[in-house]
């Protein structure tokens, strides 16, 4: 497994809650690292959005993997790769896990939706899940495909998203833990943390819980920690939303001002982009090697 400056398993084993921020390209991944997060979420939603596409299994495994690999090349934080359904059945999962581990990920999240999937937070989305037995086969395939036992297999149940209720969510989580998942991601689109807190309070398994509190922002890190069972908190789409916010603001200012005279003062200087591109290193290498 690729060497990283933080270790998600260790943070969780020591009773911490790992804070993981979404990224959609290597530049946003670099900014995640510089900000001080514990890991990078190679989000399918963010990458789809960056491609101008809906998050409904339109981007291929190869595209998402290449983007994740580029992030791994440019950063040193652990990357949790969002591999959606694993891009097909358990046979596809074998290949997916092998490729993402070799590509530099520290973990994969595989969800129990049917391929092709529909993004979770959309109102009235078609949310079809595979059977518990089929998904257990996929988790077992993921566990058997990893080379390094430290590589994390995170099983994600969409039972609450699909409106199947807490009993079904708990039954699925228990079954996925029994199949060898290292952590369980439970997702909810309720506007308050109640649904997730109720699930977590009833969870009696040993595997830590992962949440993505996009829909219920009242779930602060302190509140997550107080529940005692959450190991990883994923900020699922805040990089792409911040990017859209920033670009909209600056683009409209330039249109309204008829030029860049005001916007120029409000955005980072070009020198900051040079720094992120490590131009100093390029210059040093030029001095050293160009003859
Ligand atoms: C993603 O970021 O791609 C996720 C989280 O899977 S969500 O979009 O909320 O389903
Ligand atoms: Mg996703």
- Joined together, the tokens standing for residue 198 give 């109720």
> Where in the sequence numbering do the catalytic residues fall?
55
Q: d(Cα 130, Cα 58) in Å, to the nearest integer?
A: 19
Query: Under CATH, domain 8-236 is a member of which superfamily?
Result: Phosphoenolpyruvate-binding domains (3.20.20.60)
Question: Concatenated DSSP letters for 145-204?
Answer: H-SSTTSEEEEEE-TTTTT--HHHHHHHHHHHHHTT-SEEEE----SSTHHHHHHHHH--
Atom of ligand 1 minimally distant from the CA of 109: 6
Q: Where are the domains of the chain?
A: 8-236, 244-289
CA of 56 to the centre of ligand 2 (A): 9
- CA of 185, nearest ligand number: 1
C-beta atoms surrounding 70 within 10 Å: 16
Coil vs helix vs strand at 77: coil
Instruction: List per-residue pLDDT tens for the chain, 291 residues long.
Output: 999 999 999 999 999 999 999 999 999 999 999 999 999 999 999 999 999 999 999 999 999 999 999 999 999 999 999 999 999 999 999 999 999 999 999 999 999 999 999 999 999 999 999 999 999 999 999 999 999 999 999 999 999 999 999 999 999 999 999 999 999 999 999 999 999 999 999 999 999 999 999 999 999 999 999 999 999 999 999 999 999 999 999 999 999 999 999 999 999 999 999 999 999 999 999 999 999
CA of 284 to the centre of ligand 2 (A): 40
Asked if 121 and 189 count as a contact pair (C-beta separation under 8 A), the reply is yes
């Amino acid at each position: 497994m690729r060497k990283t400056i933080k270790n998600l398993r260790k943070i969780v084993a020591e009773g911490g809650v790992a804070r993981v921020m979404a990224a959609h390209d290597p530049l946003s991944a670099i900014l995640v690292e510089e900000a001080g997060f514990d890991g990078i979420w190679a989000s399918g939603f963010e990458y789809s959005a960056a491609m101008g596409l809906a998050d409904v299994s339109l981007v291929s495994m190869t595209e998402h993997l290449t983007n994740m690999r580029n992030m791994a090349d440019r950063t040193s934080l652990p990357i949790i790769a969002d591999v959606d359904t694993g891009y097909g059945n358990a046979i596809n999962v074998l290949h997916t896990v092998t490729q993402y581990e070799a590509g530099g990920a520290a973990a994969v999240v595989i969800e129990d939706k049917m391929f092709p999937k529909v993004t979770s937070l959309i109102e009235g989305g078609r949310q079809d899940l595979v059977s518990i037995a089929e998904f257990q086969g996929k988790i077992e395939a993921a566990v058997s495909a990893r080379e390094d036992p430290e590589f994390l297999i995170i099983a994600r149940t969409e039972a609450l998203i699909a409106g199947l209720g807490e009993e079904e969510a708990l039954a699925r989580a228990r079954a996925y833990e029994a199949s060898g998942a290292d952590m369980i991601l439970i997702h909810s689109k309720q506007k308050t943390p109640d649904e997730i807190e109720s699930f977590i309070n009833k969870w009696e398994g040993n595997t830590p819980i992962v949440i993505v509190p996009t829909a219920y922002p009242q779930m602060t890190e302190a509140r997550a920690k107080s529940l005692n069972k959450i190991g990883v908190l994923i900020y699922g789409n805040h990089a792409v939303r911040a990017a859209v916010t920033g670009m909209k603001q600056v683009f409209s200012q330039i249109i309204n001002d008829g030029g860049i005279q005001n916007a120029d003062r409000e955005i980072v200087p070009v020198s900051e982009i040079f720094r992120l591109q490590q131009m100093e290193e390029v210059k040093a290498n030029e001095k050293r090697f160009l003859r």
